[in-house]
Amino acid sequence: MLVIPAIDLKDGKCVRLLQGDFNLSTVYSDHPPDIAARWQGKGAKRIHVIDLDGSRDGLPRNRDAIEKIVRAVDVPLQVGGGIRDMKTVDDYINMGVNYVILGTVALKDRNFVLEACATHRGKIILALDARDGRVAIEGWTESTDRSPMEIASEYEGFGLDSIIYTDIQRDGMESGVNIESTKMLAESVDIPIIASGGVANIHDIEKLLEAGESRIMGVITGKALYTGALKLEDAIARIAGFAGGL
């Protein structure tokens, strides 16, 4: 299982939001490439980068910062936020981004998502962000009446790398990962799942490891790393120890 540090970009800076609220943000760095290099140095095998402004506005807003991050590290990057057309997908892949994350568009333009999967097989990640069991879109500002499992099932067999499942109410709260819902989603589809939202400490990593037989391939963590509640090297070592004991 991968521990994937998160870098959320707002106005070119590395920030964290509480439950996706742009009015509740904390700035952790004015120079995101340094943060990416730090996580790589501590052993990260993949880094999660989200253009928060792009998620809200529906088009990329932090492209320059993302390009600088690409140049700063050697580990794979998964990038999302405001990606709504093939040109943007192609631009990111050509820039050196390894995985492109599609969220809102999965509910609004299925044909585009399938085209992206066919063109860049194994490089597309689907993001399903849920509040009270229902998927939210447009940077979490709009709610739908559809469940993550319903949407995930529609994209089986099309070459997705994985699905990121985020519990919005836990995101940035360090209140613990929604293990039950994450495991249910992982067991409902034949697509690897990346857990997100609410990682508080090493115990969340351990709980996910215990549920790992249900195709949970990774976990994204942000605030817990930035506050020091979770040390990336400790989480990586715990996973290595768990795997060694199997």
Q: Give catalytic residues, as residue numbers.
A: 8, 129
DSSP letters along 112-141, please?
HHHHHHHHTTT-EEEEEEEETTEEEETTTT
Residue type, 241: G
Measure the CA–CA gap between 82 and 80, rounded to whole angstroms: 7
167 within 8 A of 11, measured Cβ to Cβ: no
CB neighbour list of residue 72: distance below 8 Å, 6 or more residues apart: 33, 34, 36, 37
End-to-end CA distance of the chain: 13
235 within 8 A of 204, measured Cβ to Cβ: no
DSSP 163: E
Measure the CA–CA gap between 63 and 51, rounded to whole angstroms: 8
Measure the CA–CA gap between 18 and 21, rounded to whole angstroms: 6
170 within 8 A of 209, measured Cβ to Cβ: no
Measure the CA–CA gap between 165 and 104, rounded to whole angstroms: 13
For the chain, the residue count is 246
